[in-house]
Structure formats: C-alpha cells, structure tokens
Chains A and B, each alone.
Chain A
Amino acid sequence: MAQTDASSATGALTSKEHVGDHMRYSAWEIFKQGLTGNKSWPRMWRDPEPKSGYDIVIVGGGGHGLSTAHHLAHRHGLTNVAVVEKGWIGGGNVGRNTTMIRSNYLLAGNQPFYELSLQLWENLEQEINYNAMVSQRGILNLAHTDAQRDAYIRRGNSMRLSGAGGEWWDRKQIAKHLPMIDLDTSRFPVIGGLWQPRAGTVRHDAVAWGYARSADSAGVDILQNTEVTGFIIEGGKCCGVMTSKGPIRAEKVAVCVAGSSSRVMNMADIRLPIESHALQAFVTEGVKPFLPCIVTYGTGHFYICQSDKGGLVFGGDIEAFSTYAQRGDLSTAEHVMEVGLAMMPALARARVLRNWGGLVDMSMDGSPIIDRTEMEGLYFNGGWCYGGFKATPASGYCYAHLLATDTSHDVASAMTLDRFATGAVIDENGRGATPNLH
C-alpha cells in the first residue's frame, strides 16, 4: 500500500492576492473588534453576479465543491472559477452530518485517500485561517465476535501501513476509558475494539464557511440561490451550464452534488451506479462531559460522540428504501435507538432534542467516484455514501488535481466511474451491488 505523501499535500499554498475587503482572522482582531462593539467584521464572502463564462464551473456549493474551489485557487492558481449552488452555503449535507472524521479503512483504493484527508484536517485551520474546532478525540470500533476481532486487527494493520496509526484495545482498556459501555450483559458482549486516536470531530458548518471564505478571497465567485437547470452541450462536449440566472459557459464543468448526483447527471443523459438514500442523525439535550471519544457498535450499526456543547450526537443505518426526501422513517429511528441502548444503557435517560435527515449517494460498492465522464468537459465527484464529511478536504484536493491536470491524483486513482464495468470495485464490506447494505 502506498504511503500518503503528506509533506507535499499539506505543504505551503500558492500565494494569491486577496480580492475585496478580506480580513485575516487573529486573536488580535477578536480583541480589537471586541473593543469596538464587533461592528466592523467584514462579510466572509462576496455575493457576485454570474459572469458569462469561467474556466471552471463547479456545480454544488457543499463542503466538497467549496473545498475543490479552495484547492483550485490556492494550490493550482486557478481563480477564474465559479461555484454554483441551488440553495445557500452550509444548507445541505455539510451541515447535516454527524461531524466525525477518521481514516480507518481497509482497502488500498480507500485508506491512503482517507489518511490524506485526515492529514489535511489536521492542518485545516491554519490553511484556511478559520476556526473549524477540529478536535482529535479518537474513535473506538467495538468488536463482538472472534471473526470481527480478526477483521478489525487486519484493518488496523492496513491503517498502520498507510501511516494512520491504530491499535487494538482489550476489554480492560475499554472499561477504563469508557465505563458506560455494557461489556457483558448485552446481547452481543464486547471482546475488544479498534482504536484510532487521531480521529475526531469538526464543526461542520464552519468547514463550509471557511472554505467558501478562502476560495472567495482568491477571486472565486460563489453563486448562491443559483440552480443548474441543464448543461450546455455542443458537439458532444460540455461547454457550460444553464442556470436560473442564465447560461454560464465554462471550459470544464465539475459536478459535485452528492445526494442528488443522479438528478443532475440525468440532465446530461448519464446513468450512474448510484441510489439516493436518507441517513438520519440525532442529538440529545446537552449533558455534562460523558463520552470522551467516538464509539461505534460492531454488531448493529450505531455511532455516537458528544458535541462540544454537550449534546450526544448519534446515528445508525440508512433508510433501506431510496428517497429524495430529507427525512427518514420512524422504524429506522427506533432501530437506531435500540442498538444504542444495547451498547450504552445509560442513554435511556437522555432525551432526544431533534433529529433530521440528509441525502446520501449510495454507490454500488460503498466507495466514492472522482473521475472524468464519457463526455468531454464534464467531470464527476459523488457516491460518497454516508461517509462524505470526513473526505471533504481530500475530495476537494483530488478533484482540483483532476480538474487542473486532467490526471487522477494517486490516492484517488481507484475511484473511477467505470470500475463497475471493469470489475475493479472498492468494496470494503464485500457486499456486492447492494447500495442499501453498504
């Protein structure tokens, strides 16, 4: 497995002259603004009118689209770029996930990519001059059977090969760090767990705002409330997009709308190996510090962490049926709670404050796609399943690399669109073409 080249990835950015009244955030600035009534903070990004054309138009102003714009501008010097967003920045999946970051995958097509992403997270706040509250508190995957222990140890070895770290925790270590976990009396007793200390949580909407501000400061136009209604296709080549604010021409069109990928690509008559499903998330009322890290349950599908505000943030299975409604079904919500209580009985006393849903692109092997399409000028990034948030920095980094150089970045080279036809799938769970089971 290839080592991730962190030094080149997280190294110095291309310096770019800032446009508009861009301000550098600092402790001194907070102090100064505090003394003057916080009246002169500038807007974080402009609200420009679309130009008639750009070098690159990114369709979708979510975390991945904005990260792509940031990396195009600051690493490749490409600033004649627009991000076209139907809604508003931070209103989609980037503001709906459970904020967890980790690099604990098994396969060579995935793990170096996610490890690059984790390294980019570790350097994110310095890179974009924005407090995203990156908190590396660790993740523990609980194991309940001998086979699961063997699989986790194998995965841990794969993580160590990629430089991600990881260790096996026995029951004593789990009981010491996480006394609230029911090790013995639940239906599936715990025999140990895979621990990655560098995993953690990030304030997700700050990621969207920080990347938007960074891209805007270099001259990228972020066009909110601008819906793409079609592609401009001339002689079999994609030459731009039709939008609710008129046509915008572009040398390259980069689709980045996970959750709605099929809807958008359908406008170019491209069928995808993707189904849209809803993933629910839940948060309880705030409680005192209770859970020091992220924990996942091995037998049922359940993951939980505690936010900095004190709420317990958790989720589980996706909806088995496909949907474009940004909400799930009560049956799944009940199932998630049942699994959570089996793992951590003390949760029964917590009151759920709210729950919500987001749309996820479930691909046919559970892994994402960052690739060209069969149509010249049209590029595709999607299929992130329920794991897109942690990938935000590397997804933008690798998509920008593809758009700027027309070659795939090494760590994303397996994430091709045609891998289902060739058989070179990246199937972490070995479940085949069953999008609702990945």
Chain B
Amino acid sequence: MMIDHPVLGPRDVREFTVLGDASLIDRPDPTSPDAAKLFHDYVHLRDNPAGIKRELWFHEGGDRSWLVVTRDTLSHRVLSVALARDVARRNRETQA
C-alpha cells in the first residue's frame, strides 16, 4: 500500500504507523456534565465502517507528521491524504 503524502509524495506504508479513526482528533470536553460517557464513547466505541474511512496515520519513518488518510476499507485504496493539523484547524473553524 502506498500513501500519497501531501508534502513528500507517494511513500511506502512501511514508513507509517496507524493510530485509528480520525474522529480521535476531536477529544470531548472534559468539563461537560456527561464527560464520563463522552470519553467512554471516544476511547472505546468505533464506527468501523466497511467502505470509506478516515484514519490518523503517523509518518514515523519519515517527517514525523500526523496525516488524515481517507481510505476504502473494502479495497485498500487510498483516496486522499491531508496533514492532520490542517484538518484539526478546519474542524476548529467550523465549530467556532
């Protein structure tokens, strides 16, 4: 599998480690009254879709950037790759 790094171009999957679903970027608010439930959902529950999925990947053997990789879990096809910090910034702007 190849991952098309937005800065470095196509790189082999061996250079990366994967953390899991990209929703892990959006940590729940620890001061919210139902924080315990929100954190349980955040830590343990997964959508685990068969099809298009967004995931957090770490370029450990490269520039050590965090990426959001959009992938098809039925075919292993990589559809798009973005820097996770750009995605996180966009998320904050849409929430604000």
Chain A contacts to B: CB under 8 angstroms: 260, 262-263, 266, 271-276, 320-325, 329, 331, 364, 420-421, 433-436
Tell me, yes or no, whether B74 is within 8 Å of chain A by CB: yes
Contact residue among B17, B45, B50 (Cβ-Cβ distance under 8 Å from A273): B45
Q: Which 8 A-B pairs have the closest CB atoms?
A: A262-B48, A420-B44, A324-B50, A273-B44, A271-B45, A321-B18, A331-B14, A364-B44
Tell me, yes or no, whether B46 is within 8 Å of chain A by CB: yes
B73 touches A322 (CB 8 A): yes
Question: Could you say which residues of chain A place their CB within 8 Å of the CB of B49?
Answer: 262
B44 touches A276 (CB 8 A): no
- Over the window 1-41 of chain B, the binary record of Cβ atoms lying under 8 Å from chain A Cβ atoms (1 yes, 0 no) is 10000000000111001101000000000000000010011
With A331-B13, A420-B40 as given contacts, are A274 and B76 in contact (CB-CB < 8 Å)? no
Tell me, yes or no, whether B95 is within 8 Å of chain A by CB: no
Size class of the B contact interface (CB-based, 8 Å)? 20 to 34
Question: Could you say which residues of chain B place their CB within 8 Å of the CB of A420?
Answer: 40, 43-44
Chain B contacts to A: CB under 8 angstroms: 1, 12-14, 17-18, 20, 37, 40-41, 43-51, 53, 55, 71, 73-76
B18 touches A275 (CB 8 A): no
Question: Could you say which residues of chain B place their CB within 8 Å of the CB of A323?
Answer: 73, 76
Number of A-B contacts (CB under 8 A): 70
Sample 10 A-B pairs with CB under 8 A, ordered by A number. A262-B48, A272-B46, A273-B44, A273-B46, A276-B73, A321-B71, A322-B55, A323-B76, A421-B37, A433-B44
A325 touches B44 (CB 8 A): no
**In the complex, residue of chain B having the shortest beta-carbon distance to the beta carbon of A420:** B44
What is the bound-complex CA distance between A273 and B42, given in angstroms? 10
Question: Could you say which residues of chain B place their CB within 8 Å of the CB of A324?
Answer: 50-51, 73-74
Contact residue among B14, B48, B71, B76 (Cβ-Cβ distance under 8 Å from A275): B48
> Distance in Å from the Cβ of A200 to the closest Cβ of chain B?
33
What is the bound-complex CA distance between A364 and B44, given in angstroms? 6
What is the bound-complex CA distance between A271 and B49, given in angstroms? 11
**In the complex, residue of chain B having the shortest beta-carbon distance to the beta carbon of A271:** B45
What is the bound-complex CA distance between A363 and B7, given in angstroms? 34
B46 touches A263 (CB 8 A): no
> Distance in Å from the Cβ of B72 to the closest Cβ of chain A?
9
A262 touches B44 (CB 8 A): no
Question: Could you say which residues of chain A place their CB within 8 Å of the CB of B1?
Answer: 321, 329, 331
What is the bound-complex CA distance between A335 and B50, given in angstroms? 26
What is the bound-complex CA distance between A320 and B19, given in angstroms? 8
A322 touches B53 (CB 8 A): yes
